Amino acid sequence: MTLAGYPRPLQDALLDSARAAIASIDLRIHVGAHPRIGAVDVIPFVPLRGISMQECVALARSFAARYARETEVPVYLYEEAALRPERKNLENVRKVQFEALVKEFGNPDRAPDAGEARLHPSAGATVIGARQFLVAFNINLRSRDIAVARANARTIRASGGGQRNRGSGN
C-alpha cells in the first residue's frame, strides 16, 4: 500500500493502519513465501515534492520512536535513516524471517533501533526508513524452473548487483 500526504496526518494514518494490522495478523500462524519480520513489515518515507531526503530521514527516525512507543513493536531503521551501516540494505535487516528472528532476538546485534529489545509476540518487528522510489515489477517466464527465475532475479535486483536507484530525492 502506498500513501502520500503531509507528514503529521500521514504519520497518524500510518499508525491507525498499523494498529489494525497488528490486531489482525498473527505471524505465529502466518505463512507465505515473501520474507517478512513483522505484521507491518516495512514503512519507507520517500521524498516527493517539497521535502528533502534529509527531512525524510528525520521524519523516519522520529516516527520510529513514536511507532515503537505506541504499538509496542520494535523498529529497525534502514536505507538513509539507518543508524548502523549493516542495516542500510533492507535485505540485511530482513535476512532472517520472523520465525528465526524470535530465536535471535536476544543477540545484541539484533537489538532494535527504537523500542524495547523484545519482539511483539504476534506482530514481530517493523523496518522504517527513508529511501528513493522503489521500482518493482513482475516478469512472466516461459519456464517452471525456479533456478531460472532466481538467476534472473540475481541479475536484475540491486542486492544481486543490478541497478540501484540514484535519484535526486526531490
Active-site positions? Answer: 34
The cell for 75 is 523498529
Please state whether beta strands 42-45 and 126-130 pair in parallel, antiparallel, or not at all (unpaired): parallel
State which amino acid sits at residue 21.
A
CB 99 within 8 A of CB 137: no
Kind and range of the H or E element at 129?
A: strand 126-130
State which amino acid sits at residue 152.
N
> Partners of 120 in the beta sheet?
124
